[in-house]
Amino acid sequence: MQRIRSILIAFGLFAFACSSASAYDPSPLQDFCVAIKDFKNGACSYRRFLFRPKQAGNTSNPDGSNVTMINVDQILGLNTLSISLVRIDYAPYGVNPPHTHPRGSEILLVVEGTLYVGFVMANPTHCLFTKILNPGDVFVFPFGLIHFQFNIGKTAAVAFAGLSSQNAGVITMAKAVLGSNPPINPDVVAKAFQLNKNVVKYLQSRY
């Protein structure tokens, strides 16, 4: 009986230790200043932590939006810090089309304009969450879920989004499915979307 009690106590302590460890955010395995060329006087150069976009993004494209990435490629000091930022500019009625970030969650802050935003839950529910956002509003897009933003106003809109990765990546649904290189066999897409094959070929030609 005593042996069983000891085993149960040991198991409980082990489980507690594991639960505590899972909540702990460990120190980065790398230093954000390792192997850099601008290391001076034992300190990182400020250039490693600064990025200055020259102007607002160009929205004269079919989507009517422009995403300016500010990740580890632009700010080298983000290495191992698990954060990044994007600026999104929207023309009137411009859209940041349905997409997903395979390596991070997103929190969006609207600075100018009015956005209709939403995300879709995973299989099997496919529940759609949407909201209309005004300047100062903040909205969260959970990790890996398909989401979008649409400028429903008659004026330009601007938003900033923080991402929980130094390089969260992006997969735009329409471009990935219809604009892959080489193209996905139209029979596959037609079957998946229950469309006529000629419609699929036309949509693929648009990309």
The verdict on whether residue 147 carries a ligand-binding annotation is yes
The verdict on whether residue 126 carries a ligand-binding annotation is no
The neighbour count for residue 150, using CB atoms within 10 Å, is 21
Q: How far is CA 191 from CA 40, 96, 181, 186, 196, in A?
A: 59, 27, 19, 8, 9
Q: Which of 61, 122, 131 is nearest to 96 (CA)?
A: 61
For the chain, give the secondary structure using H, E and C.
CHHHHHHHHHHHHHHHHHHHHHCCCCCCCCCCCCCCCCEECCEECHHHHCCCCCCCCCCCCCCCEEEEEECCCCCHHHCCCCCEEEEEEECCCCEEEEEECCCCCEEEEEEECCEEEEEECCCCCCCEEEEEECCCCEEEECCCCEEEEEECCCCCEEEEEEECCCCCCCEEHHHHHHCCCCCCCHHHHHHHHCCCHHHHHHHHHCC
Residue ranges of the annotated binding site are 96, 99, 101, 106, 147
Residue ranges of the annotated binding site for Mn(2+) are 99, 101, 106, 147
Residue ranges of the annotated binding site for oxalate are 96, 101, 106
